[in-house]
Amino acid sequence: MIPFNKPFLTGKETQYIEDAVKSGKISGNGKYTQKCQEFFEKNFGFKKCLLATSCTDALEMAAILLDIQPGDEVIMPSFTFVSTANAFVLRGAKIVFADSRKDHPNIDEETLESLITPRTKAIVPVHYAGVACNMDAIMDIAEKHQIFVVEDAAQAIDSYYTGRDGKKRALGSIGHLAAFSFHETKNIISGEGGMLAINDARFIERAEIIWEKGTNRSAFFRGDVDKYGWVDIGSSFLPSEIIAAFLWAQLENLEKIQEKRKSHWLFYREALKDWAAEHKIELPQLPEYATNNGHMFYLVCQNIQQRSRLIAQLRDKGVHPVFHYISLHSSQFFEPFHDSRVLTESDRFADCLVRLPMYYELEPQQVTDKLLTYEYS
């Protein structure tokens, strides 16, 4: 069986974990945490980075930083993972779901302004498959209405957006805040893990306090204050040094990992373009302002029946593809709260999108050889 995902190990993860253990500092915010955070700040232009135990935790930190209160409204795509919404629901927010674009699962920026009310506090664009949302349009709307933007960049490490000014900027560096994931299914992994990127300097000091359980402990260790105590709300968001040490081994090999994954993605696209046209199956689209980081290669079938047959046939042939999210607006939890709006494209992607295996050691031709014998009538 060709699995959907297989975590890639560089060979130095256990070496760095052993070093962290021997250092006597394994509880977090030690040498490896700081090395990872500095790497992201230096290489991607984030003002401040804080590792977290998950992308979910990073999003929850963002919700606290924005002072989300019961009744505040937060706009986000319906076609996303539940963590995107949960982080704000936990603070009492009303989630307003937007539809996807017709050409991509990303949020349809043209619908956003119609969803804004006096209660709107934030927009949370999700860079699906590591492909940029139209950030110029989103930031323009946010600035016009004086609301915040939190980029859900869980899948978007080492991916970029080229703005109308011609400048190329890393995803996660454009909104006020951003959240990343290092889950084992992502390009760069630590098993579980995430990161909050802070691009608005107003939030840096408080972010450190929230990260450290609501204390000014980080400032104390830097010598900024002579003692530390409880000064705000917060939680235990920072990961252990063991997680950070694992992540550092991955970051040292970022370029190599990305080169291989993007090579797989390009092979899929070239090998499947004629086959996809024959079966009226859509391949991933890249807007002119976006780059591809090789996170995911997906197909969009004509309907759920075609997708089900395709998945069944591939599994019979030893390949394990998977579908993705069910639209959150139609979920068991949220459906009673959703208004009457029909989110056509979100539901279409929920019914029709299927993801092909994607990991460093994959031989993509083994997958395409099986796909090219797909029988559909």
Q: How does strand 322-323 pair with strand 168-170?
A: unpaired
Residue 105 φ then ψ, to 5°: -65, -10
186 assigned to active site: yes
SS3 164: coil
Helices (H), 29-175: 31-44, 55-65, 82-89, 112-115, 135-145
Report which of 293, 316, 314, 306 is spatially closest to residue 356, judged by C-alpha positions: 314
Q: Are 82 and 90 in contact (CB under 8 A)?
A: no
Rounded to 5°, angle at Cα 232 from 230 and 236: 75
Which listed residue (121, 186, 260, 370) is catalytic? 186
Distance CA(291)–CA(125), nearest Å, equals: 16
Residues 6 or more apart from 70 whose CB is under 8 A from it?
Answer: 91, 92, 93
If one counts every other C-beta atom within 10 angstroms of the C-beta of residue 86, the result is: 16
SS3 366: helix
Catalytic residue IDs: 186
